[in-house]
Structure 1
Amino acid sequence: MDLNLLQPNISQQISSVEHLQVELLMLYGDSCDIGEGKHYTSLTRRGLKRLIKDIRHVQQHMQSLSSTYLIDAGGNTLLTVGHKYDHQSAMGGTSRASY
């Protein structure tokens, strides 16, 4: 998610954890128009419940996620998703993907 920060001093203060918080607010928060094309976004109980449900789902699938890959085109188009497998051969034990 690309988010342009208007004030340069703000972007210097935001760490990667805070970027994640911004993305989660954008995805799960409720937004209302506050005029002049601006929106106020906050996490409501409903949004928090959706976020917790999704996090539990991810936690349940963390092991399989470690062996999953995706191929995209320019970060905009998902081309394929699959599962990796270890191929012990003349390649010296390198991990290869199955398509």
Structure 2
Amino acid sequence: MKYVPELGGHVPVRDENMRTSNSRVYAAGDSGGVEEASSAMVTGEIAGISAAKSLGHQVPGADERLAQLKADLAAIRSGPAGEKISAGVRCATVCGGVWG
């Protein structure tokens, strides 16, 4: 957990697939920080697909769908209104699976 005021307080640190430092736990929607409802829907789908893949399930078109969802999420978080949220997300995201 990390205190990130831009996201509403203490939030779990996670990777781009919404996986937390506990590889069995994914955090999406408002549990990952307060954003918009559209962000919650997108992060939920990213987490669901990623969790299914991590359990060895075959998810047809998963890589393409994840790429599209991540692009959609970037678009939702873009612009002046999304700058604060994007700064918070960067603060609470681990890159390359390297946990601090």
Whether TM exceeds 0.5 here: the answer is: no
Choose 1 or 2 for highest CA Rg: 1
TM-score (normalised: structure 2) = 0.28
Higher-RCO chain (CA-CA 8 Å, sequence separation at least 6): 2
Higher strand share: 1
TM-score (norm 1): 0.28
More helix by share: 2
